[in-house]
Amino acid sequence: MKKKAIRDRRTAIKQAMVEEEKRSTNSMLQIHNQWRSIMRSAKLKEQREDIDWLSKKHVHQVEVKDRVIGLYQMQMDESEAQYHAAQIKHLTMLDILIDLHHLGTMKMEEQFSEQLKSLEDSFVTERKLMTTGTEKQKKELKDIIAAMREEAEEIISERKQYFESSREELKSKNIVEYNMLKLSLEAGLEELERRIDHTHQSYLATTEANTVSFKNLVAKDEVVSRVIEQRMRNLIQLHEKLSYWRVRMINQGFVLHKNSRLQTPNNNKEWDTTNKKVKDEKEYLLSHYIHLKRLLDRIQHHEHNYLKEVSKNVLEAKNILLQKLTAVQRVQIMARRVARLETEHEKIFPFDPLHCSAIPLVPGVVLEQELDGDALVKRAERKNELGVGFLLKPGLLEAEPKAPAAEIGNKRFHWASWAVSDAGDEVEEINCMINFDKRFNKVKLDTLAIQMERNRLSKENTKLANGLRNYLNSATIPEHIKKQHNILVFLGEEDNLKPKQTLCYLFQAVHKKLKSPRMKPPPVYRPPPVKTPTYVEEF
């Protein structure tokens, strides 16, 4: 009874605890709801107060910004007014400067016209002086040439006599020496011929048997090699036939077992697997073909663009060379015209200007001064050092003409035209053709480099063609491909080649070499002919 009462109490306490928990949860929910409503009302009051304060603050900020905008507008109006005033001043200053520039140009034109008149007058006077001087020099040079010819003829006659006497002496000496050498060499040759005959006979006696056996072995080797080649070809043909019949049997639905019996497949699973394999192979081959076709299209497009660039570069180079050729022709024409205007002194001594020449001149009709004896001796010694004094007589020498003392600006006076660099400095006559030589050498080096590269590429092409020919000669090729035109299958016949069919039978040759069953060659890809421009051919 006590145990039962204890159990009842326990159950009652548990039920009371459960009910108390339920009541506590309900009361907590009610408390939370009331607290939320109180918090919401308090939060609403705070937010309303904050909204009023924020609205007042916003109105104040708007007023401040309006004031700042007004100030900026005032400053902008002032700056625009200042800008207009400055622009007007600038334009007036420009007008003043333009007027000053016009005045300056007018003055410069007047100065230029005055200088031009003075230069023309000086040129006329110089031309008269030069013409009179050239006439005098012609007479003097004719006298010099006559004296030189007489002396040269005397020297030539003396040297001819000396040469003939020395030649006869040398001939006699050489004949004696030649006969002695001939006798000694003939004796040596006879001894050498005897030794060679003796050694040759001994060699033939020892090696005759070996040569006969070697020839027999070579003939046998040729026969055996031919037999081996024929048998290898027969064996390869048998292998091809065997692979062909295996593929045909598999396609017709027969299976070849180890015990060499043929059985037809009864299940559809085998047909499904075979069809799936065939489809997979077909898809793989199609994707591979598409990939190769795209690659070939890319290569063709790239080469076509490269050919366009090369043709453009060639056209540009051709135009540049034509421009240079016209410039050179103009230079040649100007050189011919300048050669007509050259003085006699410049023609004879082109690198020795007249005003700084060390070569003496023959006197004219009027002599301003006669040189003393000491001066003549010194001048003659100096000319002997230069190698010219032996042609002139000391009585015919006179003082060299001096250049006029007046110089135009800081430039040196010249009797004739001279070359000038890009910077305006004077260039010596030896260095006048440096730029032309540099360009000529550059073009020459470029042509040599192109020729070397062309030779290298031709060697590489021949090497690759020989390798491909050897590779294809080792492979077996069917008769219907041999009869067709194919650039990749070279069989020693010139009629078998066509330059335009470069990639026609590539896939056929690869397919026949691999000998893979159930593989069909893809359609033949023929590249379109590329039209080469005319100007490339002309170049």
Write the CB contacts of 139 (distance below 8 Å, at least 6 apart in sequence): 362, 364
Q: What global pTM score does this model have?
A: 0.21
Question: Which helix or strand (DSSP H or E) is residue 255 part of?
Answer: strand 255-256
Question: 223 lies in a domain?
Answer: no
Structure tokens at 510: 């690869």
pLDDT for 252 equals 64
In the chain, the number of structural domains is: 1
Residues 388 and 352 sit within 8 Å (Cβ to Cβ): no
Question: Could you tell me which residue, 387 or 115, shows the higher pLDDT?
Answer: 115
- What dihedral angle (degrees, nearest 10) is formed by the CA atoms of 34, 35, 37, 42? 150
Distances (CA, A) of 327 to 322, 336, 539: 8, 14, 20
The Cα–Cα gap between 129 and 137 comes to: 12
Give the residue among 494, 484, 485, 489 at the shortest CA–CA distance from 469.
489
Q: What average pLDDT does the chain have?
A: 74
The Cα–Cα gap between 484 and 493 comes to: 12
> Tens of pLDDT along 233-276?
888 888 888 888 888 777 765 444 444 444 444 457 777 888 88
Question: 289 lies in a domain?
Answer: no
> Tens of pLDDT along 497-519?
443 343 344 444 444 444 444 44
Q: How many helices (H) and strands (E) does the chain have?
A: 8, 4
pLDDT for 313 equals 87
∠ Cα 286 292 294 (to 5°): 100
Residues 137 and 362 sit within 8 Å (Cβ to Cβ): yes
Question: 322 lies in a domain?
Answer: yes
> Tens of pLDDT along 389-442?
333 333 433 333 444 443 444 456 555 566 777 777 777 777 777 778 888 888
Residues 141 and 344 sit within 8 Å (Cβ to Cβ): yes
> Tens of pLDDT along 185-219?
888 888 888 888 887 777 777 777 777 777 888 88
Question: 336 lies in a domain?
Answer: yes
> Tens of pLDDT along 125-179?
888 888 888 888 888 888 888 888 888 888 888 888 888 888 888 888 888 888 8
Question: 264 lies in a domain?
Answer: no
Write the CB contacts of 354 (distance below 8 Å, at least 6 apart in sequence): 343, 345, 346, 401, 415
pLDDT for 149 equals 87
Structure tokens at 220: 């046998």
Question: 321 lies in a domain?
Answer: yes
Averaged over 275-284, what is the pLDDT? 86
The answer on pLDDT for 491 being more than 50 is no
The answer on pLDDT for 97 being more than 80 is yes
Q: What is the DSSP string of 29-51?
A: HHHHHHHHHHHHHHHHHHHHHHH
pLDDT for 349 equals 65
Question: 242 lies in a domain?
Answer: no
> Tens of pLDDT along 300-340?
888 888 888 888 888 888 899 999 999 888 888 888 888 88
Distances (CA, A) of 37 to 24, 30, 32: 20, 11, 9
pLDDT band, residue 484 (cuts 50/70/90): low
Residue span of the structural domain in which 319 resides: 309-343
Question: 320 lies in a domain?
Answer: yes
